[in-house]
Amino acid sequence: MNVKIQSIKFDADKKLIDFVNNKLSKLQRFYDAIIGAEVFLKFENSQEEENKTVEVKLLIPGNDLFVARTAKKFEEALDECLEVLKRQVKKHKEKQRSI
């Protein structure tokens, strides 16, 4: 799976990039036709603690899946995104089987 990671207004360290790649590669277990993913990591301009946003666009045949979450840490936001993406991928896979 081809993963493109863009960190907006900051430079993501290797540890965070490896974490994102590792987590996204696990989605292949649920649906093997995933083409790739685009991940956007950004800081929100707010005074709140939860100011780190992760947006994931999952490229699959047919439709692309998209989810965005905000949390205190990028890792937490990515975990939340992956839970939603797992459900979306499973739902998409079931639709493909029923056609």
Q: Which of 78, 69, 67, 77 is nearest to 25 (CA)?
A: 78
pLDDT value, residue 47: 79
Full pLDDT tens readout for the chain, 99 residues: 899 999 998 899 999 999 999 999 999 998 888 999 999 999 888 778 889 999 999 999 888 999 999 999 999 999 999 999 999 999 988 888 887
| Dist. CA 76–CA 81, nearest whole Å | 9
pTM assigned to the model: 0.90
* Residue-range domains of the chain with CATH: 2-98 (3.30.160.100)
pLDDT value, residue 33: 87
The residue ranges of DSSP E strands in 1-99, in sequence order, are: 2-8, 36-43, 52-59, 65-71
